[in-house]
Amino acid sequence: MGKRIYQEQENCPVARTLNVLGDRWTLLIIRDMLVFHRTRFTELLESLRGLSPNLLSQRLKQLEEAGVVRRELYSEHPPRMEYYLTEKGMALGPVLGAMKEWGERYEPKAVSD
């Protein structure tokens, strides 16, 4: 995945995980792929409002390099890709589930009056 962000913490598995998943939008991209089965670039871009096409492209490339995502060509003219979670990516399901439960308990959605 390139340069390590937490070089001094390379013996820590949490720090190594953050090197792969710690960038802004990354876990939301994985969530959309895992929970909502969004596989196409346009689907992800539409769902993740506020995320630029360039940043989505960069994050997908990083996830592919890390072995979390794989891509497949679904249209040759013009070339278009679909993105799928690998076994490594699917293994993040329980992690996202735990984050969801934590968020529901400790960071509940504000109720409007």
Rounded to 5°, the CA angle 109-112-113 comes to 145
Q: Which domains does the chain have, with CATH numbers?
A: 10-105 (1.10.10.10)
Q: For the segment 5-55, what is each residue's pLDDT rounded down to a tens digit?
A: 677 788 899 988 999 999 999 999 999 999 999 999 999 999 999 999 999
The yes-or-no verdict on residue 75 having pLDDT over 90 is no
Report the DSSP beta bridge partners of residue 72: 82
Pair 34, 87: CB distance under 8 Å: no
Average pLDDT over residues 85-104: 97
Candidates 66, 65, 29; CA nearest to 50 is 29
What pLDDT is stored for residue 1 in this prediction?
46
What is the pLDDT confidence band of residue 109, given thresholds at 50, 70 and 90?
A: confident
Report the DSSP beta bridge partners of residue 80: 75
What is the pLDDT confidence band of residue 112, given thresholds at 50, 70 and 90?
A: low
